[in-house]
Amino acid sequence: MIGKLWQGHNLKKAVLSSLVFCLFLSAIAGCSAKEKTQAKKTLTVWHWMTDREPAFQELAKRYEENAGVKINFELYAPSDAYAQKVRAAAQGVNLPDIFSVLGEKYDFSAFIKAGHISDLSAYMKENNQEWERRFYAKALAVNEFTEGNTYKVQPGIYGVPIDIMTIMMLYNKDLFKELGLNPNRPPVTWEDFIDIGKKLKEAKKQGLVSGWGEIWMIDCLANNFAFNLMGKDKVLATIKGDIPYTDPDWLKVFALFKEMQDAGLLYNGLVSMVNKTAEQLFANGRALFAFNGSWCVNVYKGMNPELNYAAMFAPRVSEQYPLSVWGGAGSSFMVNQRSKNKEEAVKFLKWLTEKEQQVFLSEQTNNLPSNKEAAGKISPALAQFAGAIEFSTHPRIWGVSEFSPVIEAFDKGIQSIIIGEKTPEQVAREVQKIKERELQKRVLRVH
């Protein structure tokens, strides 16, 4: 009897212990579920922009306080390393919520067709196109694919510009005075520009600096000349293969670089110069002209706050067609199509491009805001670059892309013209030969 009572006592004790243990587990599970529910959502953003990193971190803090969502900005620099990381992540289908694609329009289209980038058109057009209408049209166009595009991408807007840029010529006003030139009247015509070379030679001063060792900047100025000399349609017809680079108008474009060199307008060693060196030379008053992008305002401010300079268009080489500058979206963010946080990513990018955040970014980094409403808060130096956006063009909005080997031969050919290794005619023939080779490759791939 005592044994049975003892067994019953033990049974009750065991049941009670089990009950307490179950309640304990339930409490833990409940707390975990509650903590999981209360945990903040996190968005990961990859970028390469070292100059914007402090501003991005501050904006991330503000957004977390405002929306309760943590923004994890991850910096990968320089841009080449960043581009490689993005490509590797795409291959592994491991891209973050928000990222950027650096490169040509073809690269951009490849990411879209592989399902890595969201079409944001529907979001842009909500509420009577409220989001779309806040941007400069030329900035949005860089991230847009229109009906019938040659890349065979579904028409839409696939990126959000966070700033804009234009690339222009600049001149040192103090050096203008020293040469007896009017500091408020930069050269407008090609003839006026060439004449300044004589004054530079007499004064033994240096002319134009730019990062022409990074050949894409040569391409930029050459296309400015080409658009002014022969018009957009003829330039694009050349890219399509309908007009050869041996055409007389292209020979004139190549010859312009020889004229600048012969006139003494180009800095010694320009063809191997990186842009950082060019910026230092211009900021320190050792060059009369520079060819640089709107980002230089921030660079020059850091190098020499007292630099007295202004922006100008490249000299006009023809009256037949309008002047143009390279410009559009400076930096853009894309939303990962496969992200679980896609809706939240869109909300953040909408917030990032509102007037208040755009003004903050512009003030902190001296970059041009992509939001038109924020443009009134920029510095006078930036305002000159901003005004040029209406004259801007860019390969990413042309609808056609030149072959990379052709671009390389074109730009390196101009370098060889400047240093006297080749004539404009020789370069034109070499570029056209490569163009024909690439066109033939395309035909063989199709068949």
Half-sphere exposure of 268 (CA within 13 A, CB side): 6
Omega of the bond prior to 161 within 30 degrees of 0, cis? Answer: no
Q: How far apart are CA 204 and CA 200, in angstroms?
A: 6
Q: How far apart are CA 423 and CA 392, in angstroms?
A: 30
Q: How far apart are CA 202 and CA 115, in angstroms?
A: 60
pLDDT over 90 percentage in the chain: 75
Q: How far apart are the first and last CA of the chain?
A: 97
C-alpha 210 chain-centroid distance: 18
Conformation bin of residue 379: beta by default, left when phi > 0, alpha when psi is -120 to 50: beta
Alpha helices in 214-274 (DSSP H): 216-230, 232-240, 248-263
Task: State the Rg of the chain over Cα.
Answer: 29
Closest to 395 (Cα-Cα) out of 163, 162, 227: 227
Give pLDDT < 70 ranges for the chain. 1-39, 446-447
Please report, as a single letter, which amino acid is at residue 161. P
Model pLDDT, residue 150: 84
Estimate the crossing angle of helix 296-303 against helix 275-283, to 10 degrees. Answer: 50
Model pLDDT, residue 24: 45
Model pLDDT, residue 115: 97
Q: How far apart are CA 406 and CA 409, in angstroms?
A: 5
- The tokens 């134009």 sit on which residue? 208
Q: How far apart are CA 248 and CA 324, in angstroms?
A: 21
Give yes or no for a contact between 428 and 254, defined as CB atoms under 8 angstroms apart: yes
Closest to 69 (Cα-Cα) out of 45, 50, 46, 86: 45
Q: How far apart are CA 358 and CA 52, in angstroms?
A: 12
Q: How far is CA 291 from CA 114, 166, 310, in A?
A: 37, 11, 12
- DSSP annotation of 154 reads P
Phi/psi for 316 (5° steps) reads: -70, 130
- DSSP annotation of 153 reads P
DSSP string, 294-361: TTHHHHHHHH-TT--EEEEPPPB--SSS---EEEEEEEEEEEBTT-TTHHHHHHHHHHHTSHHHHHHH
Return contacts of 373-378, CB within 8 angstroms, 24+ apart. Answer: 373/134
**Residue 25 belongs to what H/E stretch?**
helix 2-38
Closest to 366 (Cα-Cα) out of 163, 220, 210, 140: 163
Give yes or no for a contact between 46 and 100, defined as CB atoms under 8 angstroms apart: yes
Model pLDDT, residue 32: 46
**Residue 99 belongs to what H/E stretch?**
strand 98-99
Give yes or no for a contact between 136 and 278, defined as CB atoms under 8 angstroms apart: no
Domains of the chain: 41-164+329-395 (3.40.190.10), 166-326+400-446 (3.40.190.10)
Output the furthest CA–CA distance in the chain (Å, rounded): 125
Q: Is the pTM of this model over 0.85?
A: no
Model pLDDT, residue 442: 83
Model pLDDT, residue 14: 46
- The tokens 């050919």 sit on which residue? 413
C-alpha 355 chain-centroid distance: 20
Between vectors from CA 146 to CA 145 and to CA 147, what angle results, nearest 5°?
130
Q: How far apart are CA 128 and CA 175, in angstroms?
A: 51
pLDDT digits (tens, 9 = 90+) for 267-307: 999 999 999 999 999 999 999 999 999 989 988 989 999 99
DSSP β-bridge partners for residue 401:
none
